[in-house]
Amino acid sequence: MAVNFNAILDEFKRTNWKDPGTWHTVPKVFVWLVIVVAVPVAGYLADTSSQIDELEQLRGKETKLKEEYLAKKKQAINLDLHRQQLREIDTQFGALLRQLPNRSQMDALLVDINQAGLGRGLQFDLFRPAPSEITRDFYAERPISVKVVGNYHDMGAFASDVGQLPRIVTLNDVNITAGKDNQLTMDATARTFRYLDEEEIAVQRKAAQAARKGAAKK
């Protein structure tokens, strides 16, 4: 069946759009199709589109929450292990801290170092503690300039004795030179350490805060 487009076009031209009662079949069908198509499209644009965007956002949040849940679940599973490791670290730190003397024990430690050398028959040409300490976060360091004379065996024994002291002492910048009668001269810097008491740590933190504030003002 052939469609006469000219007739349909003429019918549209003759249609009085202001008076729906006079519309013929073709204009009525056309208007009905427009309404059927336009209403869903308008509804989609007005409501469904925003709901789809919201749905995508919620899906993104859901994925993020799942990742956070899995991460926290993993932490919860390993919580006992982390607590055990923390206790072990605290124990090890406490053991190391006990190897650092406090302020009142520092003089005794200097005597121990001196006696370790004399006990091995070494001659001290120099034993000079630094006039001031080098302060760190929770401990202070005292360098001691040392110059001893003796044979190779005695110097090795002295270094071993220093390493076995109940307090932490290190020998640094060691320089050994040969002398007469198989005697050696060792120049070194012995470093002793002590932990700061609570009052000293408070002063240290206060000074650090003041320094940060001064740097921020600049």
Give me the pLDDT at residue 204, please. Answer: 73
Helix spans in the chain (H): 5-14, 25-43, 49-77, 79-98, 106-119, 152-163, 198-217
Name the amino acid, one letter, at 36.
V
Q: Of 95, 185, 190, whose CA–CA distance to 141 is shortest?
A: 190
Structure tokens at 93: 């730190």
The pTM of the full predicted model, rounded to 2 decimals, is 0.49
Q: Which residue has the higher pLDDT, 97 or 30?
A: 30
Of 12-16, 75-79, 162-166, 188-192, the one with minimum mean pLDDT is 12-16
- Give mean pLDDT, residues 188-206: 80
Residue 169 in contact with residue 99, Cβ under 8 Å? no
Report the distance separating Cα 27 and Cα 168, nearest Å: 103
- Inform me whether the pLDDT recorded for 39 exceeds 50: yes
Q: Which residues pair with 140 in a beta bridge?
A: 135, 194
The mean predicted confidence, pLDDT, of the chain is 76
CATH number of 101-202: 3.30.70.60
Give me the pLDDT at residue 186, please. Answer: 92
- Give mean pLDDT, residues 38-51: 65
- Give mean pLDDT, residues 76-87: 73
Query: What pLDDT digit, counting tens, does each position of 87-127 carry?
Result: 777 666 555 555 566 666 677 888 888 888 899 999 999 98
Q: Is 121 left (phi over 0), alpha (psi -120 to 50) or beta?
A: left
Report the distance separating Cα 169 and Cα 188, nearest Å: 12
- Inform me whether the pLDDT recorded for 1 exceeds 70: no
How far is residue 214 from each of residues 204, 207, 208, 209, 211, measured CA to CA in Å? Answer: 15, 11, 10, 9, 5
